[in-house]
Structure 1
Amino acid sequence: MPNVNALLADAVHALAWLPWWAESLVLIAGCCAVVLPLHGIAFRWMQRVVSGRSLFWRSLVARTHGPSRLALLTVALGAASATAPLSWEVRIVLNQILLIAFVALVGWCCATAIHIATVIYLRRFKLDTEDNLLARKHFTQIRILERAAVTLVALVTVSVGLMTIEPVRQYGVSLLASAGAAGLILGLAMQPVLSNLVAGIQIAITQPIRIEDAVIVENEWGWVEEINATYVVVRLWDWRRLVLPLTYFIQKPFQNWTRDGASLIGSVFLYLDHRAPIETMRAKLAEIAARSRLWDGNVVNLQVSDARESVIEVRMLVSARNAPQAWDLRCEVREKMIGFLQAEHPDALPRHRSEWIGAEAPLRRAEERPRRAA
């Protein structure tokens, strides 16, 4: 720093012939012109260093680009303002700006540190495995807590930044002390946001849903794709996105197909004639499941679950490793069983029975008319 101060002092002496405002402007612009290229060179060098490494190191360097540039600019402007021949009023305003920039830098660094710690913690878990219950549990908890922590850091940063300005600080203190109508209106306006934040913390602790859970909400089936600070994004089976507030999963009932594990039991219903060969179908179902790559080898069963005057209800159960495979396995079992019945047992397919009255019926009615007339 002594060398930097000496260089700045020499620059001030060399620009002494300019007005004070022009001299200060040139000095500040010169510091920025020196710092920004140096930062760009250093950042590109760091990118080349980590280019052959993992995605974590590349994202780490990318995440620190903004905070490091803001830090260098703050230091450069602070050094320039300390040396430039500024008036007292201008120096106070510039120092206020530098103080706010420093507070923002601290908040930005805290948010970046939270994100880096989250990424480091979650690197040990993989969501693309078949049994990913533990990974989904940790991903859900850490992501929600990360967003809550970043939101808290942003609120504290904005609050501290505003408190550095004297008029705003006095207004905030008087507003909190009076607890008047404005505070009441603000509290009522912030109620949905605060309720969603509290619901997010509750979901992170109790975990009624997790990332990549298979759920049924609003009569729609899909997967939990994203859990934000105030809402949840559900990726539906047809690629649509259903966005719901966090409070929905606390206040309303919904179905979670993967609450305790990824494996599921799928059911297939067929309505057949009473002459359907149940034992033969049971053996065929076991054969279909054994030959399918989607069956996990745990559950395969066939039962007559209901009997009506015209058809019987046959329920077939098969298990799979996850919800998508369970859906595909159900479709495969339904298609192959119907094809088997059509080819081998067509009498088992449902049919309607009716009694046919032949041509003698009109003659009989014609013979009965004279008798009734007599």
Structure 2
Amino acid sequence: MTATLVPAAPTASAATLEHPLAAQEPAPAEDASTSDPTEEITTEIEERVPEGFAEMVAEAGPYMGLLLGAGVSAVFAVVLTLVTSTVLTQIFRRRPRVQRTIRRTRLPLFFLILFGGSALSVRFAVSSIYWWQGPLYVALIIATIVSLAWWALRVVKIVEAVILSRYTGEGDEAIDDRQGRRVKTQVTLIGRVLAAIIITLAVAAVLLLNESVRGLGAGVLASAGVVSVVAGLAMQSTLSNVFAGIQLAFTDAIRVGDVIIIEGNYGHVEEITLSNVVVKSWDLRRFVYPSAYFVATPFENWTRVGSEILGTVELDVDWRVPLDQLRGRLERLLDSTDLWDGELGIIEVVHATGGYVQAWVTLSARNAGDIWGLRCLVREDLVNYLRAEHPYAVMTHRMMLSNEEALGGQPAPVATGQFGAVDPAEAATGPTSSGEGEEPEFASPEGLFTGSIAAVERSREFEGPGEEAYRERRQRQDEDPE
């Protein structure tokens, strides 16, 4: 019994000692879960740092090495900032808008290189035995992350300026309606989305420097489904507006410069953001609508595939109105004004009931501003013309009374043939004015959208996106009839 039991113990012990790491296999997974992501990034950066710089900083000692590393980083930052800024400015020397944006990247690029180099100097020159090494390194890393986010935002602005510079002059007001409205809408929206992503990543990177925050990572991932549902319910309206804004920009339902009518408000689209749409009315008021409103509610887009538009002037006149002479007056008036595009200008009788005649003057113009001014001009001129030349054509209300009702029940007088007699010529053509028969001058075309520099500028806001945009939309409709 003893001979058989004694060897068994050493055999089991040998089996246990033969694999000493078998019980410690989960340890690497535990280390991976608590690993510092900044250490991995720093290690990658350190491998690419020139060996001469690392040795120089390390040999100088903790304090002089830190100052030396910061000084070298500052000099390198100044040189690199000036070189890149000068080169890019020369490349875009014909685009002042891009040059202004490039100059704004100098400061964030300088701080990015300065703080990044200083952080590496702390790693190379300062030993971990110094209590201030850890906090200083973390502070420099945070400053580097903030500078990187700042510089990335400026780079996004540079790209945006380069794209928009094809369609703009010195300022935002010089946008070429014929080419750049849609591009401006989409580029601006994409820039804001990228800015939100950059800021979110920067905040997340700063928070991950805290070990307690990294420890919460597994718990956050485990409860991501619940958190997403709660966040979705709490931010439902905000998220719907954001996605609606993206949909508006890329489906081309509206774009900056489109003339629209929404809830009875007439204006043009001034700005499209992630969450709302700003509509500028003709009286300079601004209406701010949530982006989701345009996705779910019908609205009128007067410049969807073109700015040409028709307008009508309604005239209620007497049955004796001389329509041929009225048409001749309209034709001469349209030939004398630049508001008319030469396409359509007609008079039609649409109603002849209720004791009067309703005539519609249908007109065409190049854009909404011109049609407004043309309608006002035609309405005023035809009213003056009828009043001066054909006063009998002005609408009147007739009332027929019997003789007994008119005389209070007394017998009617004997008819002599003279009471109420009308000249046959006057009955055929209507009475003429008391003047010499000259037609009045055309009404002055001064109004809301015409007649002054301010009015012309106001009219340009209602010209729509331009011919290039209309041609692009028509091609898209032909390619995709659905």
Q: TM-score, normalised by structure 2?
A: 0.62
Partner of 1:320: 365
Q: Which amino acid aligns with 2:63?
A: V
Equivalences for residues 50-65 of structure 1 within 5 A? 54-65=95-106
Q: How much identity, in percent, do the aligned residues show?
A: 31
Could you tell me which residue of structure 1 aligns to residue 111 of structure 2? 70
The partner residue of 1:12 within 48, 63, 70 is 63
For 1:215, the equivalent position in structure 2 comes to 260
> Which residue number in structure 2 is paired with residue 145 of structure 1?
190
Q: Deviations over 1:209-230 (max 9, x none)?
A: 1101111112211110000111
**1:272 aligned partner:** 317
Distance across 1 between alignment mates of 2:219 and 2:161? 41
1:205 aligns with 2:256: no
Structure 2 match to 1:351: 396
| Bigger mean CA offset, 231-240 vs 263-272 | 263-272
Structure 1 residues 88 and 342, CA gap change in structure 2 (3 angstroms): farther
The aligned counterpart of 1:336 is: 381
Q: Does the aligned pair in 1 maintain the 2:112–2:148 contact within 8 Å? A: no
Which of 383, 391, 408 is the matching residue for 1:362? Answer: 408
2:160 alignment partner in structure 1: 118
Match of 1:167 among 207, 212, 222: 212
- Aligned ranges for residues 172-251 of structure 1 at < 5 Å? 172-179=217-224, 182-251=227-296
Q: 1:106 aligns with which of 148, 151, 176?
A: 148
Question: Hey, what does 1:307 align to over in structure 2?
Answer: 352
| Larger helix proportion of the pair | 1
Partner of 2:97, secondary structure, is helix
Which SS does the other structure have where 2:132 is aligned? Answer: helix
1:252 deviates by 0.7
- CA deviation after TM superposition for structure 1 residue 360, in Å: 6.9
Whichever of the two has the greater Rg, that structure is: 2
- Out of 86, 93, 96, the residue aligned to residue 138 of structure 2 is 96
Q: Give the conservation status (yes or no) of the 8 Å contact 1:130–1:262.
A: no
Mapped to 2, the partners of 1:347 and 1:112 lie a distance apart of: 72
Give the total of aligned pairs: 350
Q: TM-score, normalization: structure 1? A: 0.77
> Which of the two has greater strand per residue?
1
Name the amino acid aligned to 1:146.
G
Flag the 1:311–1:201 CA change in 2: closer, same or farther, 3 A.
same
In 2, distance between residues paired with 1:131 and 1:6? 55
Q: CA deviation at 1:157?
A: 3.2
CA contact (8 A) 1:145 1:204 kept: no
1:154 to 199, 203, 212: 199
CA contact (8 A) 2:318 2:394 kept: yes
One-letter amino acid of the counterpart of residue 314, structure 2: F
- Once the two structures are superposed, what CA deviation does each residue of 1:24-58 show, in whole Å capped at 9, x if it has no partner? 8xx69x969x77x969x969x96xx8898542243
Change (3 A) 1:170 1:260: farther
CA distance in 1 between counterparts of 2:400 and 2:297 reads 52
Q: Which amino acid aligns with 2:167?
A: F
- Conserved? CA contact 1:132–1:262, under 8 Å: no
- How far off is 1:321 after superposition? 1.9
Q: Superposed, which structure 2 residues align to 1:284-303 within 5 Å?
A: 284-303=329-348
* CA shift for structure 1 position 239: 0.8
1:143 offset after TM fit, Å? Answer: 2.5
Q: Note the C-alpha offset of 1:314.
A: 1.8
- Match of 1:221, SS state, is strand
* Paired residues of 1:8 and 1:80 also in contact (CA < 8 A): no
Taking the aligned partners of 2:345 and 2:251, their CA distance within structure 1 comes to: 33
Contact 2:82 2:106 in 1 (8 A): no
